[in-house]
Every structure is written in structure tokens, then in C-alpha cells.
Structure 1
Amino acid sequence: MGVACAAWTGVHVPRTCLAVQAASVRRCEREREAGISYLKHPARCSYRGDVDVVRARSTGSGRKGVTMAAAEQTGSEQKKYVNAALDHVAINVKDAAAMVDWYESVLELEPVDLDAFLSKARPFPSVRLNECTILDFFPPSESDGDGADGDSAAKGNDAMNHLCMSLNRTDFDRIVANARARGVHFDQEHPVSRSGAMGTGNSVYLRDLEKNVIELRYYE
């Protein structure tokens, strides 16, 4: 059974295709360590397009609505970017514990090291976006570090415009409804079509507890 290609009508990519698996949005550290980059589709894969990236949506059990990207290597042509994954984003905050609670209760993100932070065993807490990426919340004492040792971070600036989370449609609708019920401020009433890392999707902007701008989006 294959996955329906969102870019090519009538084209299917088998779920077992390694090119699809390697470019999953839930790519893990072990894949990068193994050097997985642009894999040719195996002979059993029916996709033979000329484009570099195909967006596919799995309809298999347990993965419905998960958006993936499949990279096709054609001859000697390859994309001119490294196969990197985002490990973490550190945000300077006033109340780190309160921010973790907000991101857990509103955006359903799992807390990381909150108890250790509250017991002063860790300098900051985090929340998990996926298997490979977390958001760190730096309290004032941590955000003023110089990065000279392993217990402090280099001081950043306030240049972040917004943070975008890509969700499947079911999770998007549930989280947006939950946020509205909690009185969270949204910059618009309905989702708007905007471009993103995987093409054009539908998204909304909202503000977190400390007025940072968060974009929530889904791809069709």
C-alpha cells in the first residue's frame, strides 16, 4: 500500500520507500549519524518524477495526516543544502516555569527537565516539539551567560520574529480550539494561506504567555 503524492496526481510512493522514510519530518539523530541524505527510490517505487522534493501524506495506521518530504536524486543534481536537523531553540523568558506550563496546557508540548529546574539542579527547563527538537526557556540568570562553560549559554539578542509549528489538521484544529477557549490572543480569526518550508499551508498567529508570536500551520 502506498502513500498518495500531494504534488503528482495518480502517483504513489510505497510506504517502504527509503527515500520517503529518510526525509520524514520526524527524522532522528541516528539517521543523520548514518549519513542518510538523498536516497534513490528503490526499483519497487513507482515514483519517477524530475522534481527534487515530493510532499506525501501517509494514510497508514498510526501516521495519518503526518506530512513528509521525499527527496529524489536525479543523476548528479542534488539540493545545495546540508542534511541538518534543528536540535533546539532557546528563548529568553521572564518566568521559565510558567512558560513550560503554558506550552504544555495550550500547545500540548511535553515538559523536559522541569522538576530538575525547580529543584535548581538544571539552569533552565524545556518542552519537546518532536523526537529531535526541543524549546529551551532561559530565565534571566541564564540569558546573561557568556558561554564560557557547559553550564551557561552565550548571550543572544531579541531578534526572533516568530516560531512556527507544523501540525496535522486534526491536531491543528484541536489545539487552536483549546487556545481560543483559554482566551489566548490570535492575530486573525481564521487560518490564512502562507508559504512555509514545505510549500503553501494554512496558518494562524497567536501570542504565548510572554507575547512571543507563535505560528501554527497545517499542510493539505
Structure 2
Amino acid sequence: MDVRLDHLVCWVSDPLASLHFYEQVIGLPGVRADEFRDGKAPFPSVRISPGTIIDLMAFEAMRGVDEGTGVKGSAGHPVNHFCLAVSKEEFDELKRRLKQHDVEITGDSTNSFGARGIAPETIYFPDPDGNVIEVRWYE
């Protein structure tokens, strides 16, 4: 079976502020940002890879989620964190941007296991709504 992560949804209080954070601080390109600003898309997204995006959905949208998924109680279901893997150079540049934007690195570790094996370094930090992001690099 060839399976890939298509998208994940982060509940946010202000989709435009979150879009700014994910674009300017983390460095991910926006998807449907102009359409969202023009009222033609219900939420903006950011691209992780050619086949994977993060949807930045306003808390108000939670009301219809149970009906949409058919799973009672699924709106706002808790997730501990999600992890992005980047190159060592991108990792160092991200740490610089986090400092520049006064985003606190709340945790770090070394030799952490993940999808591609052991990562020499990882950092954790929150987005504007408290969603925890881990970023790591592999050799």
C-alpha cells in the first residue's frame, strides 16, 4: 500500500494571523490565501510538500464538523503535536526566524526517533493558537 499524508487541520482563532505565522515564521507557502481573503475559500492552507498541506480552519467552523465527519465529538479532537522535517540549513534558518519573531522554542531534544529514523536535533514551539509544532532534521 502506498499511503501519504494529504492534509491536517489546525483549529485557529484568526486564519489570516495563522497564515502569516506559517508563511513568514515557519516559511511554508500559502495555498488559497488570496481566495480566502476574497471570501471565495472557507479557509487558507499552507503547503508542506507537493502532496501535503495544513488547513488553517477557524474555530467557528467546528460546529459542522461532527456532521461532516460522522464521528460524534470529533470537532477539536486533541492532538499533541505535529512534526515537520527539514534540512539542517532550513532548521538553522527557522531557529533564526523564530527568534526574529519572538517565538519561544519551548523544548528541544537530540537523537529523537521519527519516520526516517533518528534525528540529531529537534525543537518544539507553539503557533499563535497553541498548536505545538516539532521541527527536526535528518542526516
Q: Which runs of 4+ in 1 moved over 6 A?
A: none
Larger mean Cα displacement after TM superposition, 191-200 or 86-95: 191-200
**Corresponding residue number in structure 2 for 1:200:** 118
Secondary structure of the residue aligned to 2:20 is: helix
**Corresponding residue number in structure 2 for 1:179:** 98
1:86 aligns with 2:5: yes
Superposed CA RMSD in Å reads 1.8
Q: Any conservation in 2 of the 1:192–1:204 contact (CA below 8 Å)?
A: no
Q: Any conservation in 2 of the 1:124–1:142 contact (CA below 8 Å)?
A: no
- TM value normalised by structure 1: 0.57
Q: How many residues align?
A: 133
Percent identity between the two aligned chains = 32
Report the Cα distance in structure 1 between the residues aligned to 2:32 and 2:61, rounded to whole angstroms.
15
**Alignment map for 1:1-220 (pairs within 5 Å):** 82-145=1-64, 146-147=67-68, 155-188=74-107, 191-201=109-119, 202-220=121-139
How far the C-alpha of 1:214 sits from its partner, in A, is: 0.4
Q: Which structure is richer in relative contact order (CA contacts within 8 A, separation 6 or more)?
A: 2
Structure 1, unaligned runs of 5 or more:
1-81, 149-153
Q: Any conservation in 2 of the 1:87–1:132 contact (CA below 8 Å)?
A: yes
Choose between structure 1 and 2: higher helix proportion.
2
- TM value normalised by structure 2: 0.88
Report the Cα distance in structure 2 between the residues aligned to 1:155 and 1:141, rounded to whole angstroms.
14
Structure 2, unaligned runs of 5 or more:
none
**One-letter identity of the residue aligned with 1:180:** K
Instruction: Return the index of the structure with the highest Cα Rg.
Output: 1
